[in-house]
Chain A
Amino acid sequence: MVNYAINKITLRQRLREYKKKPISFLLLLIVGLAALFSATALVFIIIYIIIMGVPHLTPDLFALKYNSDNVSCMPAIINTLIITVLTLIISVPFGIGSAIYLVEYAKRGNKFVKVIRTMAETLSGIPSIVYGLFGMLFFVTALHWRISLLAGAFTLAIMVLPTIMRTTEEALITVPDSYREGSFGLGAGKLRTIIKIILPSAMPGILAGIILAVGRIAGETAALLYTSGSATGTVSSIMDSGRTLAIHMYVLANEGLHTDQAWGTAVVLLILVLVINTLSAFIAKKLSSKN
């Protein structure tokens, strides 16, 4: 008795099929090449950065104090973390809050909701240098915050707010109405339903938005140039100016004297973003498996 799987298509069968339909073979070739090209481009960039950067990851680059010889990126790492956390503290509550309003409280099909949605979409399309200019004129000059981490964080918060709001909104919309009905049907109020049922189910989607935001924050330069500036020292308060890793890289490359260290910094930035993303993905998995 034969025991091989009869539903398994062999390579020869497949080739015979394609011989009959050359167009579909061509299509397979095209999409296959497209996938290969995309993957190669990504892998090439990463390998290139690593090859160029890793040899320059000297202890000097991680010295606690910056000077113009070691061009240490340590203060920049710390500033990046501070700015990321500050920005999220400001933008996440507003982003999630407004999404909750739009999905759970505003009447469906409300004009106001549509206006807010269009505005959010427009905001997320504005080039970041425009946010930088606004931050400089408003936070730095008009509010007299001077060039500081706080001004930078607020600027970035406005920049990533639409991203967080829209992804949270999408995540809330995908929570089935049957969960809401079930909760209301047991006599739970709106607040309890949102906190205990809806937000936990939407959590993976919300976290995906936050991860996206973290990526933008860590990689941003234009919006920070005129708001948190490029001071080299370690900050003593959030009212001080300080450069993030991306700015540090920008300045090093711009001056043309420390291109090697700029590559090193690029590796550090790459690793930092990777660590933050892995960590967030891990948290997301933990949170969703708990449910």
Chain B
Amino acid sequence: MDKFTIKNMNLYYGDFHALKNVELNMQEKRITAFIGPSGCGKSTLLKSLNRMNDLVEGCKITGDIKLNGEDIYGSMDVNILRKRVGMVFQKANPFPMSVYDNIAFGPRTHGIKNKRELDRIVEETLRDAAIWDELKDRLKKSALGLSGGQQQRLCIARALAVKPEVLLMDEATSALDPVSTGKIEELCLRLKDKYTIIMVTHNMQQALRISDKTAFFLLGEMIEYNDTDLIFSSPQDKRTEEYITGRFG
């Protein structure tokens, strides 16, 4: 089933035409990877899916983006959309508060006040993010004292705490060491049983390792979109082939 359907979507930053006629359907409970050289618009597209681009001045979007058939730029409340479509950023951005409060921030935002319920959510999401054992004795400590990899997994747990349907990951491992990256990749593979994951990555090996579908972008256009194995084994477009074989980018 398609989670996101994007039809004839164009995006402009002022006069700059950043995304051109994008057509894309992303399937539920799959990992979709966006690859392409810097500036190709893949992060921009990702940020359009939870309307983070609303914060960018002079950003204009035309076309259709639907989540489960609902127009996300229509009557849908933007805060509800962002609850349903969570996001993990390139640089881990835990809030300057305790581990517990970081996780509880989202549920509290959406009206959960009961202490026992919050305790349960914190434990469950930290377990889901495979970081419970490392952090269970430090729940009251500041999240800023964690290592980079732990912070990023905490941010994933924080995003999961509001029970999203989709998880957007914007180069979420690009600032991490290989061990932490490996942990997060394993985590993604486990999470796709429950969540739809859409990730932007610069690391083609990563896309190959964990994604089901891959879309290749170049200069604001989506060049090719297919099963990941097919994209990497027999790309249809010359430009895709050149990029994945490392001839440019």
Q: Point out residues on A near B: beta carbons under 8 Å.
A: 107-108, 176, 178-189, 192, 196-197, 200-201, 291
Contacts and interface: CB of A to CB of B under 8 A. Distances in A.
Interface in B83-97: 83, 86-87, 89, 91, 93-97
B55 A184 contact: yes
Given A108-B57, A189-B79, A192-B109, A182 B142 contact: no
B30 interface: no
The 5 residue pairs across chains A and B that have the minimum distance between CB atoms: A187-B83, A178-B93, A187-B82, A186-B106, A185-B87
B31 interface: no
Contacts of B55: 180-181, 184
B230 interface: no
B127 to A, nearest CB: 19
A181 B89 contact: yes
B169 to A, nearest CB: 12
Interface stretch (B114-122, B154-162, B193-201, B202-210): B154-162
Interface in B28-45: none
A244 to B, nearest CB: 38
Nearest to A192: B109
Interface string B158-171: 11001000000000
B105 A188 contact: yes
Contacts of B105: 183, 186, 188, 196-197
Given A107-B57, A178-B91, A187-B83, 7 more contacts: A108-B57, A182-B93, A182-B155, A188-B105, A197-B105, A200-B97, A291-B96
B50 interface: yes
A182 B162 CA distance: 13
Contact of A178 (B80, B86, B89): B89
B113 interface: no
Contact of B96 (A181, A184, A200): A200
B109 A179 contact: no
How extensive is the interface on chain B, given as a class? Answer: 20 to 34
B112 interface: no
Centre residue among B80, B87, B93, B158 by max chain A CB count within 10 A: B93
Contacts of B86: 185-186
Contacts of B106: 186-188
Contacts of A197: 95, 105
Contacts of B93: 176, 178-179, 181-182
A26 to B, nearest CB: 43
Given A182-B89, A291-B96, A187 B155 contact: no
Given A187-B162, A196-B105, A182 B83 contact: no
Interface in B173-227: none
A197 B96 CA distance: 8
A184 B159 contact: no
Centre residue among A107, A182, A196, A291 by max chain B CB count within 10 A: A182
Nearest to B79: A187
B98 to A, nearest CB: 8
Contacts of B79: 187-189
B110 interface: yes
Given A107-B57, A108-B57, A192-B109, A185 B96 contact: no
A130 B109 CA distance: 47
A178 B52 CA distance: 12
